Chains A and B, each alone.
Chain A
Amino acid sequence: MQQPERHAGRRLVAGIPALWLAVFFLIPFLIVLKISFSEARLAIPPYAPLITWLHGLPIPSIHLSSYAYLFTDPLYLRSYLYSIMVAAVSTLICLALGYPMAYAIARAGEAWRSFLLMLIVLPFWTSFLLRVYAWIGLLQNDGLVNSVLLRLDLIHHPVTLLQTNFSLYIGIVYSYLPFMILPLYANLEKHDTALLEAAADLGARPLTAFLRVTLPQSLPGIAAGSLLVFIPAVGEYVIPTLLGRTDQIMIGRMLSDEFFDNRDWPVASGVAILILLLLVVPIVLLQRVERRERIAGSAP
């Protein structure tokens, strides 16, 4: 008797959020895709419709002009490649710094562990923008870093640190480090230390045991953390605007400039589609890794 009513209830519970996300997440992408194939024009909104009606007949007017523009102007290609490089290098630095940190937390005593985790998560709760802004004060010519270096006699003139690749990497690593540490910790914490003891009993040196036992087991954590850093870093806008180079801008900034400064909606949409194409594979990979980690985590 209850079955049909229950089904209706379930359909509602799953249906409402699904409908919301369809309207505010899925459909917007289709609109972006549509506008990327239209032509810019001086109007409100500033793009031509894809289909015009002539004597009751639909006339499609699909333009590839924005893509043609994106692929022929070397500025865009350079910016695209630069963004990939910045994201990749930042991911590697996060991994190099985050792995030993996650390892130390996972091996710390019970009481310390939750406290250390709180310290890692706490910055995440405070404004991202303000934490990036703090680095301007630290890295500018008369900033803290330069004055400490001058005081220590390591340098004799202030070094330009702001608006360089260095400050850009600092900003990205600083902002995304917790995203690397948390999945790594979740993975490392589950490891059975008996395996390491067995390796030691069999005569493996600590480094060998780490390379042969711990590292392979932690690969899913490495993958999840790296993807969580890489994907948002590619399209990062705030950090490169505040800390990055002025002569080489990242693709997220490019999109924003096209949209706000040039008011070229089709080209901005085309940039968005190209970023998405780049990120489709990493996003699908991330969902795979997370699902596998969840299944592994729920096993007793």
Chain B
Amino acid sequence: MRQRGVFSRAALVLGLVFLYVPILSMIVYSFNNSRLVTVWDAAHSPTLKWYGVLFSDGQVLDAAWLSLRVAVCAATVSTILGILAGTALARFGAFRGRSLLVGMTTAPIVMPEVISGLSLLLLFVALQQAIGWPRGMGALTITLAHISFCMAYVTVVIQSRLAGFDESLEEAAQDLGARPAKVFWRITLPLILPAVLAGWLLAFTLSWDDLVISQFVAGPGSSTLPMVIFSKVRLGVSPDVNALATLMVSVVASGVVVVTLWMRHQQRRRERDAQLAAAANL
């Protein structure tokens, strides 16, 4: 027993080192003065030089702005669609077409991105020929494509949250005469709010990070941030990308820590309320 515990713990530590060394190396080298990314120029480092280079790069800033707009739209629409699909799957029991809906919401998650990208582009081309919409490829087609794969993830998050608590509260409200829409707004939505938030953040991140699907549906005029990064790093390592990575990692890390702490706080409060309620009943 002991020995295996040691083995698996060693593997865990090694695995975590493996996961984090690349990220840490980018952070460290983003403060390096040397253009040779891997040579630490001790005399002139740490420096914020590459952050300056990054913020004066118009192409990067334009791309970041486009990515931000697309990600906010895609996350919002896919969260709404994901709430609908998750509710249907978790609450409606068996209905006609359920397995089709299950299939269509899980398949995009594992689908190789090149296939999703190609098929969506061909769809847009066919639509353009048939009805003249969407006109040209750009922010709109990228957003539509992102919504489609993001909503699959949101659906899974919402569905598992809904499966996690029973329907008694909703049934009670319904027995007291509340209409289904009111039950949803007053009971279900507040209960699944953490999952809605998590789903939105997940969708935002997936859209913000997507490269392959965007590359297919972006058209020649518009580039998202990952597309600009990709064309930079295909030519080799460039230090300003390290600076960009450091900024993105810090935003994500602080965001995740804040959300985790907030959720734990909510959890504690709920437990305390439950205890108080139980005590009052005695």
Contact = CB atoms under 8 A, between A and B. Distances in A.
Interface of A: 2, 6, 9-10, 13-14, 16-18, 20-29, 31-32, 35, 45, 97-98, 100-101, 103-105, 107, 114, 116, 118-123, 125-131, 133-138, 140, 142-144, 147, 174, 177, 200, 206-207, 210, 227-228, 231-232, 234-238, 241-242, 252, 255-256, 259, 265, 268-269, 272, 275-276, 279, 283, 286-287, 290, 294, 298
Contact of B248 (A14, A127, A269): A127
Contact of A236 (B103, B111, B112): B112
A287 B102 contact: yes
B233 A123 contact: no
A21 B100 CA distance: 10
Contacts of A121: 256
Nearest to B238: A133
Interface in B229-262: 229-230, 233-234, 236-237, 241-242, 244-245, 248-249, 252-253, 255-256, 260
A235 B114 contact: yes
A105 B241 CA distance: 33
A203 B26 CA distance: 51
27 contacts: A14-B85, A16-B84, A17-B81, A17-B82, A17-B85, A17-B88, A17-B101, A25-B108, A26-B104, A28-B123, A31-B123, A97-B14, A97-B18, A101-B11, A129-B230, A131-B22, A134-B25, A134-B245, A138-B21, A206-B3, A237-B212, A238-B211, A252-B113, A255-B118, A259-B118, A269-B122, A287-B103
Contact of B22 (A101, A142, A174, A232): A174
B38 interface: yes
A206 B101 contact: no
B156 to A, nearest CB: 9
Contacts of B92: 10, 13-14
Instruction: Kindly state the interface size class of chain B when it binds its partner.
Output: 35 or more
A13 B23 contact: no
A155 to B, nearest CB: 16
A10 B217 CA distance: 33
A13 B211 contact: no
Contact of B8 (A103, A144, A207, A269): A103
Nearest to B179: A2
A20 B151 contact: yes
A6 B19 CA distance: 49
Contacts of A276: 115
B122 A252 contact: no
B132 to A, nearest CB: 14
A6 B91 CA distance: 13
A137 B144 CA distance: 34
B163 A298 contact: yes
B153 to A, nearest CB: 11
